[in-house]
Structures are given as structure tokens and as C-alpha cells.
């Protein structure tokens, strides 16, 4: 064969390979490797890591959102880094350090804007999701936290020092900011319900939480769950549970108690407490299996080698799993057939069948923390 | 430039094109072209059709499901055809005619099995989602309909002639079938709630519907909504509303009334009626915008040029749209920013901004009916 023919053959051979190399993105995901500033891109269906990608900076407290086509992950690092990762090429396509110290971000419902909440210098920065060019800055009189997106190209966040929540409407040419004053002392985290209706902020400076109903004719904050919070006991902020640990489970919401070994059951309509379940340790995340039939709970150090499964009908613990040392996070596949559990100090992610509760696979990972599947792109309140 | 060099250049040029040609699948969709047995593959973000694909047989009453990675659509045709379409190559990768007359299908929660309900010869057939090889046949004493998947690799369907519902558990090596006798006379359609908990069958032979709570220790059928149905009035089956027209909207379910120009509001907990809204015509589909803030309704002939938007808080009609002649179906983008509306007799799909309610794009299509976005792959009860 001549060189010419060989090249020609090479060209033709390359063409059919193309179709086989195509990859859908609906079953991909990202695992944060917190110690090394790297991530794994994983394929759920294959129970496998496709690639390790490095260069994300400080991922000791990282989170991410996905583009609406499920191709890109936007990763928010502790060091103010905002990094755009292409899941199809497994390469970083853009990275900026947009502030001194950031704690999380959100993507607008139309997928066109990325917002990042900052401690330093405070307030939020908003970027074009395509280019990461700056679009707007919304200053605040202190640390911005609890940043969430709401329907209608809106974002909400709260301010630690001033006890305010700010609603940022990006549907017009310039940001329109509404400030809710006095939501409570020292908001430290927040969530938005999965229907995009209610923004709930946790308070460090007082008991209870603050809820804003965005469907009301004139939204305004009201206090809920007055017994929920730090109470008389002094506690460092890092001991306060992440509100992302809340989970909707049918007609109920389940949430980790503050500094107690129990989860609380809340009526979804009234937002009043309806019961408690004693748990193995202090819960960190209480995550509902999609559909809400069971809730899986992991725990704070030193009881963090365990996961308990709680029946949402009876509120009873029905199973106890021992994935290994330092279980940091759990993520369910979109229709709830599997739960993926990161076990930091065993350097692995363990995959469970949610029906049999048996491990059915594992993936090696360096000090894994957060696990995020692309199905999040299609949901509100994440 | 020599031919050799040109070829070489061609090879190198082809390589970088590869990354650009990659396509994510989270924002793709399929539009059924009912008259021509063809479909459009569409890209939501681009507001564009990527390709027309032909050869699907009789699509006069078609539906489809997506693989869990959002790469493939499984299209169920009226003629018993089951066709597997690759959205990335826009080619049919497999097609079988599995029965004489089929009316819909479902995909197991783990994405591994496709089930199809058949009028001829009755019962359901179950296939391997990868190869379309037959896995199991579940016979029944009549026409199978209302086929839905439930968590735990299960399917449910009902039987017109015998008034039974069958629960097919495919979690073991062979199908395990549980039969619920006497659910009611002549079930004609069914749905499963989005949490995978409750299977509800509509009855043609009597008033009311039949509900089975799959979370109960011993699931059994019970009658609900006794006023809902054909009543004393003789009506052909095609006048009975599709139960897929039901929509969860926050704490409520909204559904088209039978043979009346109104929609009914049902309390999600009690499944009791709480109100009615008078509408422009006889509703066909009542679809909740994701999050449940509004419900969009289309209507039966001859009032089928109109869509009404109803506020779920006030139950009032807040807007009326005129997309064109013969509005057959509507589909929202995953986080509710857009509604896509098929207008059969204008040969187009019109795209609306759900905040402004203005048309923001359209796509030419031949007699379009059903519109399906890949985000369905990640949901239960669709």
C-alpha cells in the first residue's frame, strides 16, 4: 500500500469511528475530588469514570450547576474560581477567578446566566453562560450567601451582616433589585423549593427560618419553624446544617435537626413540624429517593461511616449501610434506581441498588466529596 | 498543492471539526409528523429542526419514550411498530412490528426494558431496550391499555374486556404478575402519578376512576371521583379525555372534564374535587408549567385554534392565545421557560415565552402532533 493509499484509508476509517464515538449527555455526572482540585467525569450507565480533569483550584467547598443542554458543568470553587468544563471533550473550556472568596452559584432558568455569591468583596457577580464575560454585579453590604435561581430569569441571595434577602430580576436589560429588609439575624444558607415558589433562609443569629412566598401578590418574609436553629447554645457556623440537606418527600419535607441526632418531618403545606426520627448521629444530608419513598441520611464526624435509610410513610429507620470512612455526599440517579455515595477516606464512590440496598459497583476517586448528575439541569431548586 | 497534501490537509481539518460536531442531548426533542410517518429531531436551544427522519409507519396515534442517557427515542406507532431512533445520528437504528395494533409503551425505571401495550392480540410485549430482542410476553384476556412503568422495574396495565389491572414485576429472572380484579368496567386509559406511587385508570363503562396505591402494604383498587366519567350520556371512547392530560400543579391536580367545557381541580392528598374553571371549549390537555404556577389548556374540534392559560392560585383564565388551526399538543422546556405548541393545520410548531406569552419562534413541520423533549427521560409518570 502506498503512503497515499494508507492516508486515504486512514481518512475513511476515521469517518465511521465518528458515529461510535458520539456520546449522549443525559447519564453523565461529575465527582468533586476535594483535595486535589480535580474532578472525575463519570458515566452512570457504565458505572465508570470517563476522565479525570485537573486545574480547578481550591475545591475544598465546591458546588456546580449544569448547562441546560447537559453539556457543560460550571464549577464554583472556594477561591472564587468559576470553571466551565465540557463533559463531551472532558476539557476545561474557560476559567476565571471572579472574586476573592466564593461560596456557590446558580444558573438562570433559561440557562443563559451564571451567578456567583461572594464573601469577598460581598454581593454577587453575574456572567454570560456562553463566554463567562461579566454581565452585571449586584453589590451588598456584606457577605452574599444562599444564592438560588427562581423562574423568570431571577436570582435570590441573602446577606449575613445586614439580615437582608435580595431578589435580582434579570429579565430586562439591567438588573432590577428588590431588597427584603430584616428577614432575621445572620442568614447563613438558603434553599428554594423544587417548584420555584418559596425561598427559605436559615438564620444563625436567632432561632427559626425565614420564608418568602414568591407567588404572593406582594412577597414578604415570614418566620417559620421557630424551634429550628441554634437556640441558647453557641455553635460555630460550620455546625449549622446545609439547607441543601432538606428534601421533599411526597407531602412532607425532611430536614436534619440542628446539633441533634434526629431528622425533622415538616408538612409541606403548613411548613409546621409533624414528627421526628432518632438517627445514628447528627445528620448532614437527608436526601429523598426520587419519588420520595425513602430518605437516605449521612452523618457528621465521628459517626460518618454510616448511611441510614428511613421509610417516609412510617418515619422508621429500615436499613443501615456502612459504605466506609467519611461518607460526604450522596446522589440518586434520575429515576431513583441507584444511589451513588462518596466515601472520602476510602478514596471511592460506592454505587448502591436502591431496591436491594446492595453495593453493585464502585469507582476509584481521590478524596471524593460532591457527586452531581446532569439530570439536575432539568430541575428547579438545585 | 499536490493531491497528497490536499488529502493530508483534509484529514487534519476533519479532526478538529470532530469536537465542534459533538452534540449534547439534554436539549433535544422529537416532533411527530402524524400524516407522513416521519418525525423531526429538534434542538430546543437553537429553536431549530436538526433533521427529518422517515419510515416510522402509522403515526396517527403515536407516543414515545427516551433512553435514560437521552440518546435514543423509542417510538410506538398505531400499526404495532416499535422504532428506535438515534438522536445523535438522526437515523433509525432498529425497527420491529411487534403486534397488529398497539397503543403505547413505557420504559422501565432502569432504562433496560421497553414494554408495549397491544389491542391485537392483547396483553403486553417486553423487549430489551438495547437490541429490541423479545424478553417476555404477558398475555391478558383482552385489549391492554394504560401501560405505565413503576419504580422497581415494574409495569402496570389494564384490560378493557375484563376490567382488570395487572402489575408486572420484572425485577427477577421471569415476570411476576399480580392481577387486581374488578377495578371497574371498561378501563380505557391510565396514568401513574409523578412520584410513581398511584396508578389511576379511567373507566368507560361506569362513572369514576380506579386508583391503586402502590406504597400500601397490600395495594388494592379503590374508586375515586365518583362524578367523573361518562354518566348517563352515551359517548364514544374517542371523546373520553386522555388521562395524560392530567397535570400536577403544586398541591393540586388539574384535569379535563368529560364532555364539558371546564377543567377540574383536585386536592392531591385526598383526590377529591375542590373546584372547576369554565374554559373556551372541551379541554384535551391541561398541562402544568414546570413548578405548577400556570396551567395551559388546549381544546377539542372545532374550538381547537385556542390555548388558554389558567392561574393555579386563583383558578382564573389569565390569557388566551391563538396559535392557529388544530392545536394538538404542548410541551414545556424542562424548567418552564418556553412552551412549544403543535399547530397541525398550519404545519408548524410555535414557540412561546411563558413569561411574556409572546411567540418567539416557530419551526415548519408536516401535520405535527406530539412534541417530546428528552428531559422526560429523567422523570417518572410520563
* pLDDT, mean of residues A206-229: 91
- Shared domain for A262 and A224, answered yes or no, is no
Same domain (yes/no): A253, A349:
yes
The grid cell for B303 is 374550538
A41's grid cell = 467525569
What share of chain B in percent tops pLDDT 70?
94
Touching check for B69 and chain A: CB below 8 Å? yes
A255 and A161 share a domain?
no
For residue A368, being part of any structural domain is answered with yes
Determine the average pLDDT of the residues in B11-37. Answer: 77
pLDDT digits (tens, 9 = 90+) for A242-269: 787 777 777 888 988 888 899 999 988 8
Q: What is the dihedral of CA B161, B167, B168, B170, to 10 degrees?
A: 170
The order of strands in the sheet holding A124-128 is A101-107, A113-120, A124-128, A134-138
Reported as a single tens digit per residue, the pLDDT across A95-153 is 999 988 888 999 999 999 999 999 989 999 999 999 999 999 999 999 999 999 999 99
Q: What is the pLDDT of residues B150-200, one digit of tens each?
A: 999 999 999 999 999 999 999 998 999 999 999 999 999 999 988 899 999
For the cut 50, the answer to whether the pLDDT of residue B258 exceeds it is: yes
Give residue A325's pLDDT: 98
Based on the fold, state whether residues A208 and A298 are members of the same structural domain.
Answer: no
Peptide bond into A40 cis (omega under 30): no
* Same domain? B271 vs B334: yes
* Residue B124 predicted with pLDDT over 50: yes
- Considering the domain architecture, whether residues A180 and A278 belong to the same structural domain is answered as no
* Residue A274 sits at the chain B interface (C-beta within 8 Å): no
Which of B3, B26, B292 lies nearest to residue A195, judging by beta carbons? B292
Using alpha carbons, list the distances in angstroms from residue B195 to A249, A334, B65, B128: 9, 12, 18, 25
Percent of chain B with pLDDT over 90: 78
- Asked if residue A8 has pLDDT above 60, the reply is no
Contact A151 B337 (CB under 8 A): yes
Min Cα separation B110/chain A (Å): 6
Cell of A63: 458546588
Output the furthest CA–CA distance in chain B (Å, rounded).
Answer: 84
Say if A59 falls within a structural domain.
yes
Please indicate, yes or no, if residue A179 is contained in any of the structural domains: yes
- Name the pLDDT band for A11 (thresholds 50, 70, 90): very low
**Residue B86 belongs to a domain:** yes
Of residues A44, A71, A197, nearest to B24 (C-beta): A71
* Same domain flag for B118 and B171: yes
Per-residue pLDDT at A20:
61
Segment A273-315, tens digit of pLDDT = 999 999 999 999 999 999 999 999 999 999 999 999 999 999 9
Q: Pick from B26, B45, B268: which is nearest to A374 by CB?
A: B26
Q: 116-145 in A: which are within 8 Å (CB) of B?
A: none
pLDDT class of B20 with cuts at 50, 70, 90: low
Q: Give me the CATH number covering residue A251.
A: 2.130.10.10
Going by C-alpha positions, the residue among B230, B188, B224, B189 that lies closest to residue B206 is B230
Across the A:B interface, residue pairs with CB atoms under 8 Å apart total: 171
Query: ipTM, 2 decimals?
Result: 0.92
Kindly state whether residues B221 and B281 are assigned to the same domain. no
- B337–chain A Cβ distance below 8 A for any pair: yes
Pairwise CA distance, residues A23 & A303, whole Å:
40
Are A25 and B27 an interchain contact pair (Cβ–Cβ within 8 Å)?
Answer: no
Residue A30 is placed in which grid cell? 461529575
Tell me which residue in B87, B197, B334 faces A378 most closely, judged by beta carbons.
B334
Cβ of B25 under 8 Å from any chain A Cβ? yes
pLDDT tens per residue across span A79-111: 999 999 999 999 999 999 998 888 899 999 999
For residue B153, which residues of chain A lie inside 8 Å, CB to CB?
Answer: 355
| pLDDT at A323 > cutoff 60 | yes
Average of pLDDT values for B366-380? 96
- Nearest CA to A136 out of A176, A167, A101 is that of A176
- DSSP per-residue codes, A42-91: EETTTTEEEEEEE-----TT-EEEE-TTS-EEEEE-TTSEEEEEETTTTE
CB atoms within 10 A of CB B348: 18
Is a pLDDT exceeding 60 seen at residue A316? yes
Distance CA A347, CA B40 (A): 45
Residue ending a domain, among B177, B208, B229, is B229
pLDDT at B5: 45
Q: Is A198 in the same domain as A142?
A: yes
A301 and A322, same domain (yes or no): yes
Q: Where in the sequence is the domain holding B311, given as residue range(s)?
A: 241-381
Domains in chain B: how many in total?
Answer: 2
Measured between CA atoms, the residue of chain A closest to residue B16 is: A89
A247–B contact, CB cutoff 8 A: no
Non-local CB neighbours of B321 within 8 Å, separated by 6+ positions: B306, B307, B308, B309, B341, B352, B357
Dist. CA A285–CA A267, nearest whole Å: 19
Does residue A15 lie within any of the structural domains? Answer: no
List strand residue ranges (DSSP E) for B98-250, in order: 101-107, 113-120, 124-128, 134-138, 144-150, 154-159, 164-169, 176-180, 187-192, 198-203, 209-213, 221-224, 247-249
Cα four-point dihedral sign A86, A90, A94, A95: positive
**Does B92 lie in the same domain as B218?**
yes
Say yes or no for a CB contact (<8 Å) between A292 and B195: yes
For residues B88-104, one letter each, b for 16 or more C-beta atoms within 10 angstroms of the residue's C-beta and e for the rest, the string is beeebebbbebbeebbb
Among candidate residues A202, A229, A256, the one where a domain is terminated:
A229
Q: Give the model's pLDDT for residue A2.
A: 44
Q: Do B254 and B223 fall into the same domain?
A: no
**How near does any CA of chain A get to the CA of B75, in Å?**
18
Point out the domain boundary residue: B229, B263, B294.
B229
Domain-embedded: residue B359: yes
Residue B251 has pLDDT above 50, yes or no: yes
- The answer to the question of residue A34 being in a domain is no
Q: Is residue A186 a part of any domain in this protein? A: yes
Amino acid at each position: 500500500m502506498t503512503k497515499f493509499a494508507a492516508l486515504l484509508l486512514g481518512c475513511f476509517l476515521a469517518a465511521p469511528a465518528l458515529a461510535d464515538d458520539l456520546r449522549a449527555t443525559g447519564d453523565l455526572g461529575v465527582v468533586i475530588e476535594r483535595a486535589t482540585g480535580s474532578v472525575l467525569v463519570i458515566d452512570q450507565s457504565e458505572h465508570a469514570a470517563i476522565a479525570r480533569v485537573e486545574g480547578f483550584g481550591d475545591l475544598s467547598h465546591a458546588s456546580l450547576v449544569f448547562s441546560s443542554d447537559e453539556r457543560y458543568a460550571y464549577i464554583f470553587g472556594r477561591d472564587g474560581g468559576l470553571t466551565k468544563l465540557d463533559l463531551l471533550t472532558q476539557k476545561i473550556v474557560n476559567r476565571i477567578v471572579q472574586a476573592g472568596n466564593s461560596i456557590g452559584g446558580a444558573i438562570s432558568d433559561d440557562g443563559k446566566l451564571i451567578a456567583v455569591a461572594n464573601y469577598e468583596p460581598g454581593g454577587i457577580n453575574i456572567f454570560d453562560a456562553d463566554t463567562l464575560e461579566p454581565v452585571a454585579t449586584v453589590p451588598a453590604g456584606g457577605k452574599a450567601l444562599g444564592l438560588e435561581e427562581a423562574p423568570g430569569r431571577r436570582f435570590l441571595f441573602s446577606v449575613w451582616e445586614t439580615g437582608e434577602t435580595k431578589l435580582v430580576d434579570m429579565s430586562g436589560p439591567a438588573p432590577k433589585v428588590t431588597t427584603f429588609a430584616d428577614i432575621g439575624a445572620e442568614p447563613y444558607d438558603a434553599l428554594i423549593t423544587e417548584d420555584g415558589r418559596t425561598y427559605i433562609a436559615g438564620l444563625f443569629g436567632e432561632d427559626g427560618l425565614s420564608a418568602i412566598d414568591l407567588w404572593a401578590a406582594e412577597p414578604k418574609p415570614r418566620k417559620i419553624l421557630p424551634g429550628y436553629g441554634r437556640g441558647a447554645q453557641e455553635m460555630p457556623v460550620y455546625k449549622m446544617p446545609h439547607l441543601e440537606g432538606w428534601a421533599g418527600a411526597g407531602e412532607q419535607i425532611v430536614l436534619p435537626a440542628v446539633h441533634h441526632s434526629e431528622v425533622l418531618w415538616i408538612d409541606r403545606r403548613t411548613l409546621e413540624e409533624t414528627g421526628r426520627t432518632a438517627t445514628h448521629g447528627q445528620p448532614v444530608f437527608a436526601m429523598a429517593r426520587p419519588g420520595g419513598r425513602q430518605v437516605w441520611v449521612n452523618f457528621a464526624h465521628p459517626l460518618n461511616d454510616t448511611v441510614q435509610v428511613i421509610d417516609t410513610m412510617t418515619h422508621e429507620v429500615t436499613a443501615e449501610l456502612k459504605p466506609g470512612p467519611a461518607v460526604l455526599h450522596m446522589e440518586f440517579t434520575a429515576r431513583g434506581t441507584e444511589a451513588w455515595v462518596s466515601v472520602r477516606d476510602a478514596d471511592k464512590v460506592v454505587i448502591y441498588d436502591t431496591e436491594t440496598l446492595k453495593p453493585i459497583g464502585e469507582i476509584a476517586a481521590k478524596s471524593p466529596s460532591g457527586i452531581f448528575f446532569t439530570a439536575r439541569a432539568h430541575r428547579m431548586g438545585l
